[in-house]
Amino acid sequence: MSTIFYAFGILLFVAVVLCVEGIYLWWNNAHGPAAKRIEARLRALSAGGHVNAEQLSILKKRLLAGSPRMQQWLMSVPRIGALDRWLEQSGSTWSVAQLLGFCAMVALCAVALIPLSPVPAPLVLAGAAVAAVLPVLHVMRLRGKRLRQMEAQLPDAVDMISRSLRAGHSFSGALGIVGQEIKAPIGPEFRTTFEEINYGVALDEAMTNLAIRVPVGDLRYFVIAVLIQRESGGNLAEILDTIGRMVRERLKLFDKIRVLSAEGKMSAWVLGLLPFCTAGVILLVNPGFMKVLWDDPLGLRMIGGALVSMSFGVLWMRGIIRIRV
């Protein structure tokens, strides 16, 4: 073989290696751990609320959508910032455009089942509209879980701030210690507040941003206590000790109530899902058995009445088992 062939093989090998290295570097810069941390910081700052219009526009371009046209359209939607903050509070990596895209994709997949389903098209379209809400329900579940974790971590964070103040640290320094020592999800929120103060944001404004990012009632009591203490004075460490004890006792009472209401919640889930599961099994086993429900006008009225009655029943059971502490 000639020297040119060997040279070509070597150059081809080098080109493939460089191509693989370039793909890896691109992926690491776009989706690696450092990129995810930067994106999380940008999402936290963009959801803080107290930034000027120019900074908000820059951050939203990274957050809402990758397409400029989609970005422009989303920015024209009313209260899109509240939806963005809601996504940030859930800890999800989805953007607003991705959430809407998933909702549309689920709805289209449900509509594609029209030729395969014995159910008439109007009912399938109604089911598709309900299925489109599933990504939103998923984000709501993530948000509720994350907020409950923050609520459970709050007493430890308040106690750590109190001990840091007694040890001689400043309040902002105590926030930084909590941000370093407490695990996610509440630790990064305090670290964001600490860094905002270091960047020159006023303490009152930084604490208000914290209350906006973390809509937990007990944390808002903590923020209000800190702001009042700055105006009127007093021993902040003792105030934080009182707040920590109050939050712990409230969480203990809430756990007892949650255990006592667990049976009611399970009954609500079983009674709510049983008719739909039974109807699905009947459609698979004997599709013609349920045709009377949508072929006969009386059957349609029966379906409507059943759905309305079930909705009232679910709301009634939810009101019974939902106890605020």
Output the DSSP codes for 163-201: HHHHTT--HHHHHHHHHHHSPTTHHHHHHHHHHHHHTT-
> Looking at per-residue confidence, does 17 or 199 come out higher?
199
Query: What percent of the chain has a predicted confidence (pLDDT) above 90?
Result: 28
pLDDT for 2 equals: 63
**Of 187-196, 240-249, 255-264, minimum mean pLDDT range:** 255-264
Specify the length of the chain in residues.
325
- Neighbouring CB atoms inside 10 A of 162's CB total 21
pLDDT for 93 equals: 83
The contacts of residue 281 (CB under 8 Å, 6+ apart) are: none
**Of 54-68, 207-221, 275-289, minimum mean pLDDT range:** 54-68
Residue 66 CA to residue 71 CA, distance in Å, equals 7
pTM metric for this prediction:
0.70
Given a cut of 50, whether residue 60 has pLDDT beyond it is: no
CB 206, CB 51: distance < 8 Å: no
The contacts of residue 123 (CB under 8 Å, 6+ apart) are: 294
Supply φ then ψ for residue 182, to 5 degrees: -85, 140
Quote the DSSP letter at residue 51: S
Maximum average pLDDT range among 190-194, 231-235, 279-283: 190-194
Max distance between CA atoms of the chain, in angstroms, equals: 89
> What residue ranges define each of the domains in the chain, with the CATH number in brackets?
147-249 (1.20.81), 258-324 (no CATH)
Residues 87-142: pLDDT tens digits? 888 888 888 888 888 888 888 888 887 777 777 777 778 888 888 899 999 999 99
| pLDDT band with cut points at 50, 70 and 90 for residue 8 | low
pLDDT for 111 equals: 82
Quote the DSSP letter at residue 287: G
For the chain, what is the mean pLDDT? 81
